[in-house]
């Protein structure tokens, strides 16, 4: 199988977590042609470069104003907030529009009171950046609907902070709760358009100043790239959200929920659907753990997403996707139900060995659509360029029911584990595997229900 990197190279200048080499405008790379490797590596949403403090200090805050909005002078808005100074709370008084970012003062709560903010293009231009953004170290957004369906443009080519998002917390702790974010989408293939995003430098897997954000009971639909994203030195509690992508599309590989580049936390009791890329070379995913360790993904339902649950490392930003837990999830109608993989890239792409090790996969239900070439659980290490040695070792797959795939269970590693793989497979109810021995034999108890 061959993967085109032209589109990837085009976005890295804006989306890289840290300084990386300059990539060629287009390059063709090869993946081994083993039949089960017709699985395509999940295409991740690149995190933005950190916002410089000067960028925020240049914004004039309209303190205690009747409008109650912090925005650049050029922003035109009809949004009016009641400003409760004692409670540090803005209350949106009516539905409104804005053609630029609304900044929440430090320590404030923005309560939308179920009103709607519609993002619109400014006269002679296009909406750039986030609709709602923190202006300090803590913030809260609740009970707000944000609509971006009137935004146009083929995509931002300016600084990273011009990338489209609904709600963005940059370097801030807080809560994002009971909001609805609709249509953060330019209708293009540019790698932007996230419904809800939290991020905090650094993005290398270290945690010098972790921010903590609760993202709960939100509805996110119609986004362009990712529904909910947590990147960098963050702990995200992503609970009971409904995230719905565009379904099969040819222009962009979406991810419903993403933990990336060192993020940690948990995703529990979420409902995720509709991430499917019909183009060549990459896949979309329901819940993606990319170069992030210790993430718990539990009790979620993922439907109609090309790759349901993914733990993956390329060692481009952080080195590993280790010690994650996928438990008690339901994955339906996916070509690749649960994937654990480490992908090797030679310099200048990567200078270390990627790792996806010691992950736990247990008590999940994975149901496919009987598509040829699909896999229920897929564990693999392989290289894309050069001869680097990615590490996939010590993963444990247990007590998972798998059905409706070309092959129910696949592992391409070698070691002292089950069936001479590098993993342990215990008591998984499935029918077909490569190599043999990853599924347990059916018993009379199984037949009895």
Mean pLDDT of 354-373: 94
What pLDDT does residue 361 have? 98
Of residues 382 and 57, the one with the higher pLDDT is 382
Q: Choose the weakest-confidence range: 1-5, 28-32, 306-310, 441-445.
A: 1-5
Instruction: Answer yes or no: is 146 within a domain.
Output: no
CA distances from 358 to 260, 306, 322, 420 (A): 18, 24, 6, 17
* pLDDT, tens digit, 9 for 90 and up, residues 132-165: 999 999 999 999 999 998 888 776 656 667 889 9
The C-alpha atoms of residue 109 and residue 99 are separated, in whole angstroms, by: 21
The boundaries of the domain holding residue 229 are 2-48+163-447
Instruction: Answer yes or no: is 420 within a domain.
Output: yes
CA distances from 343 to 255, 330, 380, 411, 437 (A): 19, 26, 8, 14, 25
Q: Quick one: pLDDT band at residue 81, thresholds 50, 70, 90?
A: very high
Residue whose C-alpha is closest to residue 68's, from 52, 57, 84: 84
pLDDT value at 51 more than 50: no
What pLDDT does residue 119 have? 96
Mean pLDDT of 195-199: 96
Within 237-354, where are the H helices? none
Q: Are 410 and 378 in contact, with CB atoms under 8 Å apart?
A: yes
Q: Are 222 and 241 in contact, with CB atoms under 8 Å apart?
A: no
Q: Quick one: how many helices (H) and strands (E) in the chain? A: 3, 38
Residue whose C-alpha is closest to residue 141's, from 196, 75, 201, 85: 196
* pLDDT, tens digit, 9 for 90 and up, residues 385-406: 766 689 999 999 999 999 999 9
What pLDDT does residue 91 have? 97
State percent of the chain over pLDDT 90: 66
The C-alpha atoms of residue 322 and residue 320 are separated, in whole angstroms, by: 6
Of residues 12 and 285, the one with the higher pLDDT is 285
Q: Quick one: pLDDT band at residue 187, thresholds 50, 70, 90?
A: confident
Instruction: Answer yes or no: is 306 within a domain.
Output: yes
In the three-class reduction of DSSP (H, G, I as helix; E, B as strand; rest coil), residue 321 is classed as coil
Residue 272's H or E segment, with its range, is strand 271-277
The C-alpha atoms of residue 246 and residue 277 are separated, in whole angstroms, by: 10
What pLDDT does residue 35 have? 30
Q: Quick one: pLDDT band at residue 383, thresholds 50, 70, 90?
A: confident
What pLDDT does residue 441 have? 64
* pLDDT, tens digit, 9 for 90 and up, residues 92-122: 999 999 999 999 999 999 999 999 999 999 9
Instruction: Answer yes or no: is 279 within a domain.
Output: yes
The C-alpha atoms of residue 377 and residue 403 are separated, in whole angstroms, by: 10
Instruction: Answer yes or no: is 418 within a domain.
Output: yes
In the three-class reduction of DSSP (H, G, I as helix; E, B as strand; rest coil), residue 160 is classed as helix
What pLDDT does residue 424 have? 98
Max Cα–Cα distance, the chain, nearest Å: 73
Q: Are 337 and 377 in contact, with CB atoms under 8 Å apart?
A: yes
What pLDDT does residue 446 have? 52
Instruction: Answer yes or no: is 70 within a domain.
Output: no
Q: Are 427 and 421 in contact, with CB atoms under 8 Å apart?
A: no
Tokens, residue 121: 């293009």
CATH of the domain at 248: 2.160.20
The C-alpha atoms of residue 334 and residue 369 are separated, in whole angstroms, by: 7
* pLDDT, tens digit, 9 for 90 and up, residues 9-48: 211 212 334 333 333 332 333 333 333 333 333 333 323 2
Residue whose C-alpha is closest to residue 261's, from 316, 197, 309: 316
pLDDT value at 442 more than 80: no
What pLDDT does residue 160 have? 62
Tokens, residue 241: 């959200």
What pLDDT does residue 373 have? 86
Mean predicted lDDT score pLDDT of the chain? 82
* Domain count within the chain: 1
Q: Quick one: pLDDT band at residue 444, thresholds 50, 70, 90?
A: very low
What pLDDT does residue 19 have? 36
The C-alpha atoms of residue 198 and residue 48 are separated, in whole angstroms, by: 11
The C-alpha atoms of residue 41 and residue 1 are separated, in whole angstroms, by: 11
Handedness of CA 442, 309, 356, 24 (dihedral sign): positive
* pLDDT, tens digit, 9 for 90 and up, residues 302-335: 999 999 999 999 888 899 999 999 999 999 999 9
């Amino acid at each position: 199988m061959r993967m085109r990197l032209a589109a990837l190279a085009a976005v890295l200048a804006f989306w890289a977590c840290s300084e990386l080499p300059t990539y060629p405008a287009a390059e063709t790379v090869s993946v081994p042609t083993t039949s089960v490797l017709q699985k395509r590596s999940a295409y991740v949403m690149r995190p933005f470069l950190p916002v410089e403090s000067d960028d925020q200090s240049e914004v004039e805050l309209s303190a205690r104003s009747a409008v109650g909005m912090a925005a650049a002078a050029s922003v035109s808005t009809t949004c009016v907030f009641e400003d409760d100074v004692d409670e540090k709370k803005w209350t949106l008084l009516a539905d409104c529009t804005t053609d630029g970012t609304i900044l929440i003062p430090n320590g404030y709560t923005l309560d939308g009171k179920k009103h709607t903010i519609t993002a619109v293009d400014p006269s002679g231009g296009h909406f750039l950046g986030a609709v709602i953004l923190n202006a300090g170290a803590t913030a809260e957004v609740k009970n707000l609907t944000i609509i971006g369906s009137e935004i146009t443009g083929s995509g931002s080519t300016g600084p990273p902070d011009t990338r489209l998002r609904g709600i963005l917390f940059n370097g801030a702790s807080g809560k994002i709760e009971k909001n609805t974010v609709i249509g953060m989408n330019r209708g293009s293939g540019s790698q932007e358009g996230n419904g809800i995003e939290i991020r905090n430098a650094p993005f290398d897997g270290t945690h010098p100043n972790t921010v903590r954000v609760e993202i709960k009971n939100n509805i996110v639909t119609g986004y362009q790239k990712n529904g909910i994203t947590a990147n960098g030195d963050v702990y995200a509690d992503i609970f009971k959200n409904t995230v719905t992508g565009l379904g099969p599309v040819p222009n962009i590989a979406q991810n419903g929920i993403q933990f990336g580049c060192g993020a940690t936390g948990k995703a529990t009791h979420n409902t995720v659907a509709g991430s499917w890329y019909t183009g060549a070379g990459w896949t979309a995913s329901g819940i993606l753990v990319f170069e992030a360790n210790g993430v718990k993904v539990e009790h979620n339902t993922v439907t109609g997403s090309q790759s349901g649950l993914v733990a993956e490392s390329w060692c481009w930003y952080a080195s590993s996707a280790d010690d994650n837990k996928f438990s008690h999830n339901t994955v339906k109608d996916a070509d690749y139900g649960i994937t654990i993989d480490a992908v090797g890239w030679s310099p200048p792409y990567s200078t270390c060995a990627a790792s996806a090790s010691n992950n736990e996969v247990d008590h999940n239900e994975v149901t496919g659509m009987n598509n040829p070439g699909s896999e229920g659980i897929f564990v693999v290490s392989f290289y894309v360029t050069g001869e680097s040695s990615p590490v996939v070792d010590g993963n444990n797959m247990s007590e998972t029911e798998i059905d409706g795939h070309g092959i129910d269970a696949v592992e391409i590693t070698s070691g002292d584990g089950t069936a001479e793989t590098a993993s342990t497979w215990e008591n998984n109810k499935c029918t077909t595997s490569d190599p043999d021995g990853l599924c347990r034999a059916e018993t009379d108890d199984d037949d009895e229900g």
